[in-house]
Amino acid sequence: MTNYTNLLERDRDYVWHPYSATNSNQAIFPVQSAQGVRIKLADGRELIDGMSSWWSAIHGYNHPVMNQAISNQLGDMSHIMFGGLTHQPAVDLAELLVKITPPSLKKVFFVDSGSVAVEVAMKMAIQYWYAKDQPQKQKMLTISHGYHGDTFGAMSVSDPVNGMHSLFSDTLAQQFFADTPSCKFNQPCTDKDISSLQDQLENNHQHIAALILEPIVQGAGGMRFYSPDYLKQARKLCDQYNVLLILDEIATGFGRTGKLFACEHAAIEPDILCVGKALTGGYMTLAATLTTPAIAQTISEGEPGVFMHGPTFMANPLACSAGLASLNLLLNSPWQDRITQIQQLLSTGLEQCKDFPHVKEVRILGAIGVVELHQAVDMQTIQPQFVEAGVWVRPFNRLIYLMPPYIIDKDDLNFLINAVVSIISNIKD
């Protein structure tokens, strides 16, 4: 029995993977190492990564600058509690985040994951209105087909019908939902497009603490791209109806859409911003929720006089050091040119999928390429096909999509695209 086989057997015995059943025959592929844009499996095969490890490893794997940052920090301390203490990596990272995010955001609250960043944002909004003697503003408003995470607060603002959380519907807080914008990225937002959101705010603003949106790109809820004009009008409506605006940039932040943050496409600023995933270049779990001084001060001066949240591993020094290294790598690189090249190659390469009868739509924005099918894919069949083709692509439902590391070169990206197109062409209706 080879080590490879033994590892798979032990995995089946003891490990529960995400979005999986323990009694399924889901294909699992042991990884030995990863370097650049390549994942080396334990059986010796190499795969070109099209997923950036769920959109986080923007610099690829085993980057020497990232490795050195972690190593240097490890020599000082791997962790220290953040209650009553601070450290330079956290302060430096907070200062850099304030510098690169929209100007109105000046306060940074570090958390462990994207889902928790959303939970914190929602709690900030509710506690803000409570401090302003408006405790009735407890609800959230969002749009259909969104996804904000798998914890209970985040689930409550993810799509209640087509999302992954419908079986929890009787347990989750009941929120307000507006229709998904039908205006695409390069289209204006009409009165009809915005009317559902406007109606919800007009009728329920007295109960709504915040509107939460994934700006421009709805991620795991369907990979839809909508008009920046919709986002502009949403900001105006929030101001008109005295509702905070939370933007969830966990998937879109740090360059993925062609702007450093997706809200820049609409030239608007949120009241609260969530970032994560690519924040540490995929090295460590870390996220952050940013807000304005006015919101922070209102919460601090109201009852109970503190913000009611405090993760054990908040601002972990190793994670903050990774975040600093990752952001400096990004900001000091020609990332705009890289995203432009990725977008051009994705557009040219995936365009031919439009001619396949089983393909509904092809969408490209920045370093995101999406092929939407008419029917859901069979993961048991298609995942091994991608591996056999030498690429790592992880579809879900009807979506086969690419979000590669920014460092991918032209040859590797073309190889990745050609493999995807070939496999899609052979899918049977």
Q: Which residues are catalytic?
A: 19, 147, 248, 277
Q: What share of the chain is helix, strand, coil (3-state, %, to 5)?
A: 40, 15, 40
Task: Evaluate whether 184 touches 226 at the Cβ level (below 8 Å).
Answer: yes
DSSP structure class, residue 281: T
- 246 - beta bridge partners? 212, 272
Task: Quickly tell me which residue has 């709690």 as its tokens.
Answer: 123
DSSP structure class, residue 429: -
Task: Evaluate whether 276 touches 284 at the Cβ level (below 8 Å).
Answer: no
Task: Quickly tell me which residue has 């958390």 as its tokens.
Answer: 111
Collapsing DSSP to helix, strand or coil, 368 comes out as: strand
Instruction: State both tokens at 173.
Output: 């807080």
Instruction: State both tokens at 95.
Output: 């200062």
Question: What angle do the packed helices 317-331 and 88-100 form, to 10 degrees?
Answer: 40
Task: Evaluate whether 55 touches 256 at the Cβ level (below 8 Å).
Answer: yes
Distance of CA 78 to the CA centre of its chain: 26
CA–CA separation, 329 vs 278, rounded Å? 12
Instruction: State both tokens at 176.
Output: 């307000």
Q: Distances in Å between the alpha carbon of 292 and those of 220, 272, 299?
A: 28, 7, 11
Collapsing DSSP to helix, strand or coil, 333 comes out as: coil
The residue count for the chain? 429
* Number of other residues whose CB lies within 10 A of the CB of residue 296: 18
Contacts (Cβ under 8 Å, ≥6 apart) of 26 = 17, 20, 379, 380
Q: What burial letters (b/e) apply to 133-165, b meaning 16+ CB within 10 Å?
A: eeeebbbbbbbbbbbbbbeebbbbbbbbeebbb
CA–CA separation, 16 vs 205, rounded Å? 42
Q: What backbone torsions phi and psi does residue 257 show, to the nearest 5 degrees? A: -95, 0
